[in-house]
Amino acid sequence: MAGPLILTRDLTKVYQMESYTVQALRGVSLEIQRGEFVAVMGPSGSGKSTFMNLLGCLDSPTSGEYFLAGERLSGLSGDALAEIRNSSIGFVFQNFNLLPRTTAVENVELPLLYSRCPKQERRQRALARLAQVGLADRAGHHPQQLSGGQQQRVAIARALVNNPVLILADEPTGALDTRTSFELMGVLQQLNREGMTVVLVTHEHDVATFASRIISFRDGHVLSDQGVAQPADAQAMLRELEREAA
Amino acid sequence: MMNLASSIRIALRALRVNKLRSMLTMLGIIIGVAAVITMIAVGAGAQARVEDQIRGLGTNLVILFPGSVTSGGVRMGAGSRSTLTEDDAYAIQREVRGVQAAAPTLRGTGQVVAGNNNWSTAFYGVTPEYFEVRNWAIATGKIFDAADLTGSGKVALLGETVARSLFGDADPVGQVIRIRKVPFTVIGTLERKGQNLLGQDQDDVVLMPLSTARNRVLGGGTARQRTVGSASIKVREGEDMSEVIEEMRSLLRQRHRLQPGTDDDFTLRNLSEVLQAQEQSSRIMTLLLAAIASVSLLVGGIGIMNIMLVSVTERTREIGLRMAVGARGRDILAQFLVEAVTLALIGGALGILLGVGGSYAIGHLAEWRTELNVRAIVLAAGFAAAVGVFFGFYPARKASRLLPIEALRYE
């Protein structure tokens, strides 16, 4: 397919508070190609989270245009956006957002529940994705029985289960220690190597270095947009960390 | 949209998380449904008792009284004139097509003596048709035969109360009693009939042949005229009561040679009408009881709405996540609606058990008659489901209208 995966034109978002307005985004125009691994950085209040929510169709822009895989998404109805989220976008959240008292495999199945996938296929696909993130043997565990890293991998399996075109990761390592962060970034890098487009929001520069492109936000504008010549290799760093420990 | 089975599974899981809360919420519905079922059972029991009384009385019973006398402008009331003869009753039975049987009756009261015991009671001179018309069977012994009827045989049948008062537990059949000093042989006892609608003891009675009552006990002036105090008439099943009564009226007017335009010298009273009115009122009572019970069902519904609102608030993040992975508003709506209805239906099912148990308990402990009604049970269950939908809708819609990003960020 020709054209960028993501194209935004003059995207703005204004939050109307009771007595004042907040201009969270002041006209952002960007292109992200298929297969890119983009880190979105910026201090809090820079607009990076707002930008992320717009990319993820969780929120609608005040003005401007947003095209995902050539389809204009700005101005679509809530139901249509839900369907886009379901079929095209996989979310990974900082706090995992797994359903408690629900097994790992059922958590992974959740998006399929809303795409009317038959029960057997649902289970099959969920188990396959769990195996892909190395948790085949934890399918029947509840989130509270899993470590933070394992929970986040369940969340990645959930993000992948509907074969999305884009993974959006919002501070995915925020609740993880260094070792587990490397592990998780390794999983995301592996997915990216296999062709998945990944957009990562983080405020940690270390985490951003795993990406191949870093976009910095400040005060609702894009401050800088640079390619990374030599992204860090999470798996190599993890091996090194383990050697040091040994 | 998710299929129903997964929705129900999700709902059950959510309800299990807060077992105590779910139970307490259900309690409102449980009590409501149980109350509706029990109250309808009690009402239906009362109704069935009235129906039984109608059946006991004879479903299509008409009582014929002689007319009233007007003397110097003072009207003496029904039965004050002896215009009715037993031949009127026979004629009605013979000539009015819709009549199954007509039983002329003479009534008197007096002291009945047996050995050392005595008892004041009413006695009736009757013909064998009386038993058919009144749906009255004998408990022991036999009824009087043709010879007793024509020959004024001194034989009597005792009602249960009289039999017990005079003979205790002993068998009265074959014993001799005196009614107004006339000796009678007891040839049988009547089956217990209980109280009538006015609370009168229908078993406090002695029956004897009509001729015996007239010739040997009441005696005097009435003997020659063959008059009777009243006649009970049973209309055939399926006949139009008012039509038959009209036929009887014209026959009697003709027999009594009444000119057109004059008043009847008799009264025909349709007894089952009275009872039907009573049945009607007990049906209204049932409705009232059910209506009162429904109020508690309504209160239970408000409880469901309350707890569902709490639940939606508590699970805002879950709602946000579900929306993020593709749930549409109507999926969330369905999820919470199914949860509310599941809550209501489980409560309804438990309420049915409690209601059925309660009805039996009331039937046993209070010895009230209760009648479980399948329709009432289905109605109560349906009502419970409707309560779930109605009171679950607002919280569910509130959940479905959350914005995904705000729900996800909710702390």
Q: What is the pLDDT of residues B300-355, one digit of tens each?
A: 899 999 999 999 999 999 999 999 999 999 999 999 999 999 999 999 999 999 99
CB contact under 8 A, A58 and B408: yes
Q: Which of A82, A91, A97 sits opposite B327 (nearest CB)?
A: A82
CB-based contacts of B297, cutoff 8 Å, min separation 6:
B28, B29, B32, B33, B35, B36, B380, B383, B384, B387
Give the pLDDT confidence of B172-196 residue by residue, as tens digits.
898 899 998 889 999 999 988 877 7
| Same domain? B99 vs B197 | yes
| Same domain? B292 vs B398 | yes
Q: Which of A20-34, A96-110, B375-389 has the lowest mean pLDDT?
A: B375-389
CB contact under 8 A, A59 and B318: no
Task: Tell me if B309 is assigned to some domain.
Answer: yes
Output the six-digit token pair for A74: 């700005």
| Same domain? B248 vs B161 | yes
The band of B58, judged by pLDDT with boundaries at 50, 70 and 90, is: low
Q: Which is more confidently placed, B369 or A87? A: A87
| Same domain? B238 vs B314 | no
CA distance A146 to chain B (A): 19
- Domain range spanning residue B183? 82-264
The band of A101, judged by pLDDT with boundaries at 50, 70 and 90, is: confident
CA distance A181 to chain B (A): 23
| Same domain? B307 vs B382 | yes
Give the per-residue pLDDT at B3.
73
Residue B387 has pLDDT above 60, yes or no: yes
Q: Which of A29-38, A187-196, B253-262 has the lowest mean pLDDT?
A: B253-262
| Same domain? B195 vs B238 | yes
Mean pLDDT of chain A: 92
CA distance A234 to chain B (A): 27
Residues of B in contact with A91 (CB under 8 A): 324-325
Residue A177 has pLDDT above 70, yes or no: yes
Residue of B nearest to A82 (CA): B326
Kindly indicate whether the domain formed by A35-49+78-211+226-245 is annotated with CATH number 3.40.640.10.
no
> Rounded distance, CA A68 to CA B82, Å?
106
Residues of A in contact with B331 (CB under 8 A): 114
Of A6, A16, A56, A50, nearest in space to A219 by CA: A50
Q: Which of A78, A91, A115 sits opposite B324 (nearest CB)?
A: A91
Residues of A in contact with B322 (CB under 8 A): 110, 114
CB contact under 8 A, A83 and B17: no
Residue of A nearest to B404 (CA): A58
Q: B104, B63 in Cβ contact below 8 A? A: no
Q: A34, A28 in Cβ contact below 8 A? A: no
Q: Give start and end residues of each alpha helix (H) in A74-177.
A: 78-88, 104-113, 119-132, 148-160
Task: Tell me if B61 is assigned to some domain.
Answer: no
| Same domain? B41 vs B90 | no
Give the per-residue pLDDT at B185.
92
Residue A221 has pLDDT above 90, yes or no: yes
CA distance A114 to chain B (A): 6
Task: Tell me if B59 is assigned to some domain.
Answer: no
Give the mean pLDDT of A148-177.
93
Give the pLDDT confidence of B124-155 residue by residue, as tens digits.
999 988 988 888 888 888 888 888 888 888 99
| Same domain? B38 vs B109 | no
Residues of A in contact with B319 (CB under 8 A): none
> Rounded distance, CA B271 to CA B205, Å?
20
Please, what sign has the CA dihedral across residues A147, A149, A153, A159? positive
> Rounded distance, CA B391 to CA B304, Å?
7
CB contact under 8 A, A82 and B321: no
Give the mean pLDDT of A76-86.
92
- Last residue within a domain, chosen from B236, B264, B292: B264
| Same domain? B221 vs B327 | no
CB contact under 8 A, B326 and A114: yes
Mean pLDDT of chain B: 86
CA distance A79 to chain B (A): 5
Residue of B nearest to A97 (CA): B321
Task: Tell me if B172 is assigned to some domain.
Answer: yes
CB-based contacts of A87, cutoff 8 Å, min separation 6:
A115, A162, A164, B326
Share of chain B above pLDDT 70, in %: 92
Give the per-residue pLDDT at B399.
94
Interface test with B, best of A97, A102, A109, A123 (most B CBs within 10 A): A97
CA distance B363 to chain A (A): 45
Q: Which amino acid is at B165?
A: S
Q: Which of A208-212, B108-112, B195-199, B404-408 has the lowest mean pLDDT?
A: B195-199
CA distance A113 to chain B (A): 6
Q: Which of A87, A101, A114 sits opposite B13 (nearest CB)?
A: A101
CA distance B381 to chain A (A): 30
Residue B216 has pLDDT above 90, yes or no: no
Residue A131 has pLDDT above 90, yes or no: yes
Residue of B nearest to A52 (CA): B405
| Same domain? B248 vs B316 | no
The band of B71, judged by pLDDT with boundaries at 50, 70 and 90, is: low
CB contact under 8 A, B326 and A82: yes
Interface of B with A (CB under 8 A): 1-3, 6, 13, 17, 317-318, 320-331, 403-405, 408
Give the per-residue pLDDT at B72.
59
Question: How high is the ipTM of this complex?
Answer: 0.93
CB-based contacts of A16, cutoff 8 Å, min separation 6:
none
Give the per-residue pLDDT at B348.
92
> Rounded distance, CA A185 to CA A228, Å?
16
- Last residue within a domain, chosen from B230, B264, B298: B264
CA distance A199 to chain B (A): 16
The band of B81, judged by pLDDT with boundaries at 50, 70 and 90, is: low
CB contact under 8 A, A101 and B329: no
- Number of structural domains (chain B) is 2
| Same domain? B87 vs B233 | yes
Q: How many C-beta atoms lie closer than 10 Å to residue A139's C-beta?
A: 19
| Same domain? B219 vs B338 | no
Cβ pairs bridging A and B (under 8 Å): 66
CB contact under 8 A, B327 and A158: no
Interface of A with B (CB under 8 A): 53, 56, 58-59, 78-79, 82-83, 85-87, 91, 93, 97, 99, 101-102, 110-111, 113-116, 158, 162
Task: Tell me if B292 is assigned to some domain.
Answer: yes
Task: Tell me if B76 is assigned to some domain.
Answer: no
Residues of B in contact with A87 (CB under 8 A): 326
Give the per-residue pLDDT at B126.
92
Q: How far is CA A234 from the centre of its chain?
A: 17
CB contact under 8 A, A78 and B329: yes
CB contact under 8 A, A110 and B322: yes
Q: Which of A82, A158, A162 sits opposite B328 (nearest CB)?
A: A82
What interhelical angle do A148-160 and A119-132 show, nearest 10?
130
The band of B76, judged by pLDDT with boundaries at 50, 70 and 90, is: low
Residues of A in contact with B403 (CB under 8 A): 59
Strands A6-16 and A213-218: unpaired
Task: Tell me if B72 is assigned to some domain.
Answer: no
Residue B219 has pLDDT above 80, yes or no: no
Give the per-residue pLDDT at B207.
92
Q: What's the full length of chain B, in residues?
A: 411
